[in-house]
Structure 1
Amino acid sequence: MTDRDDGPSFSFVSEPEDTRERIMQATFETVQAHGFAGLSIGRIADRADLSKSSVYHFYDDKDDLLLAFLDAMLAQFGGPLADADFDDPETELWTLVDFGLYGTTGEQFPPVDGVGDVNGRPYVELRSQATHDDEYRDRFTDIDASMHERLATVIDRGIDDGVFRPVDPDRTAQFLLTVLLGGLFRRATSDGLDADAVRSELEAVVDDRLLPA
């Protein structure tokens, strides 16, 4: 298997600067347009205006390419939040919640012609492979653990600052992460999610369980 970088520094909305970036950009567009079932090295190569052999020069096979793409996508997905400077734990918590419920602003992931709103679709397309592929499952297990740690750290800091009640940060983070991932899946796979209603109920839970009386 080819070596992977820790994460690319390019943006999906900027012009690719080298062949790897062209391949990542083309993979993004191909997943949006055709889904995982319609994904192939040939289609990716065509969108990148490269030969298939050029793609295989960097990646052993489709799964090798897609795992690298997953790293790139998640770097884009989480980058703005990782770099943000929050004034207090409650503001940070709600920013994370809203990011999960409502998704990106489109600044990280541009629309693809003929596809429409694709918020969350690549993530769900790739995550479905974790049901039968251990390498994908291991990768998404690590991703979940990272997201859980971020939420738990915010809650723990809020407890230390006196902003939140002394709840169990891990259990609370587990609950929030499960709700947010459910919202992401529903947003990507159906038109029935009322994100405002979910947020309203979460506000009631936070008021009841987290905020001081």
Structure 2
Amino acid sequence: MSESGSESVATDTREAIMEATFRALSEHGYTDLRMRDIGEEMELTRQVIHYHYDGKHDLISHFLEYIIDQYEGSVEVAADAPPREELNARIEQCLFGPEFAEFGHWDRMKVYHELFTHAQNDAQHRAIFNDHYERIRGSITEVVEDGIEQGVFRDVDAAQMGQLITDVIHAARGRRLSLGHEDAPEQARESIQKFILDSLLVESGQ
């Protein structure tokens, strides 16, 4: 009987299963992925996976949440950091990711992007991606709002600005992954800096 759900899985066991899922997805892709493939990528028995997760779809749903947690929980900004510094940190994180012991940022984004593509036909996974998108957009919007309140940023539509920055980030990641444009993230960072962040500063608008 399965005990599906992250809260029911010991941390070490969950991480072993999730990292094995990374390796299996990287090798086989989502469509051809089998639970057996994941089991072959870890030292634990395959029965452990079936005990905690109700099949491939349930496992991938929790896997998506695992990926998202890695990114959302690793943005390190001092509580008293200026809005511009915090905004830069969040953009940098989205474009270039945190450090990982195994499978770098773009290895992980490749898997994320493949699942993102399949989400158009999967309501549950689409909801997870939508929620993640909204949290990214919301966190950027909040920083812009703080900057406006502190008089650092010009009085702009913060929600619209958050939307624009988030969409530029997503487009750059997709261009690198789908089209092989390895300089896309760096170009996006430079464009955001030049055409968005610099124009946000109060002194630049005077």
TM over 0.5: yes
Shift of 1:196: 3.0
Q: Are residue 210 (structure 1) and residue 200 (structure 2) matched?
A: yes
The SS at the match of 1:84 is: coil
Cα deviation, residue 200, structure 1: 2.3
Deviations 1:101-140 (A, max 9, x none): 3x224x236238xxx9515112112211211010011111
What amino acid does structure 2 have at the position aligned with 1:128? T
Partner of 1:55: 49
Q: Which residue of structure 2 aligns with residue 196 of structure 1?
A: 186
After superposition, residues 132-151 of structure 1 pair within 5 angstroms as: 132-151=121-140
Question: Which residue in the other structure is 1:66 paired with?
Answer: 60
Secondary structure of the 1:192 match is coil
Report the counterpart of residue 18 of structure 2 in structure 1.
24
Between Structure 1 and Structure 2, the one with more helix by share is: 2
Structure 1 residue 6 displacement after superposition: 6.2
Matching residue of 2:169: 180
Equivalenced residue count is 200
Give the counterpart letter for 1:110 in structure 2: E
Rate the CA distance shift 1:175–1:43 in 2: closer, same or farther, 3 A: same
Check the 8 A contact 1:77/1:108 in 2, yes or no: no
Query: 1:164 and 1:8, CA in 2 relative to 1: closer, same or farther beyond 3 A?
Result: farther
Runs of 5+ consecutive residues of structure 1 not aligned to the other structure: 11-16
TM-score, with normalisation over the residues of structure 2? Answer: 0.85
> What do the CA deviations read for 1:25-52 (whole angstroms, capped 9, x no partner)?
2111112222223321000011123443
Question: Do 1:183 and 1:193's aligned partners in 2 also have CA atoms closer than 8 Å?
Answer: no
Bigger drift between 47-56 and 131-140 goes to 47-56
Deviation at 1:153, TM superposition (A): 0.3
Tell whether 2:111 aligns with 1:118. Answer: no
Gaps of 5+ in 2: none
**Separation (CA, whole Å) in 1 of partners of 2:115 and 2:10:** 21
Q: 1:75 to 1:61 in 2, by over 3 A?
A: same
Any conservation in 1 of the 2:22–2:108 contact (CA below 8 Å)? Answer: no
Q: In the superposition, relative to structure 1, how do residues 137 and 185 fare at CA in structure 2: closer, same or farther (>3 Å)?
A: same
Tell me by how many angstroms 1:193 deviates: 4.2
Report the identity percentage. Answer: 26
TM-score norm. by structure 1 comes to: 0.83
Instruction: Give the counterpart of 1:85 among 75, 78, 86.
Output: 78
Give, in whole Å, the separation in 2 of the partners of 1:52 and 1:178.
39
User: Aligned partner of 2:131: which letter?
Assistant: D
Q: Following TM superposition, by how much is the alpha carbon of 1:99 offset from its aligned partner in structure 2, in angstroms?
A: 2.1
Structure 2: distance between partners of 1:9 and 1:205: 46
- For the aligned residue pairs, the C-alpha RMSD in angstroms reads 2.6
How far apart are the structure 2 equivalents of 1:162 and 1:108? Answer: 37
> Which of 31, 34, 59 is 1:37 aligned to?
31
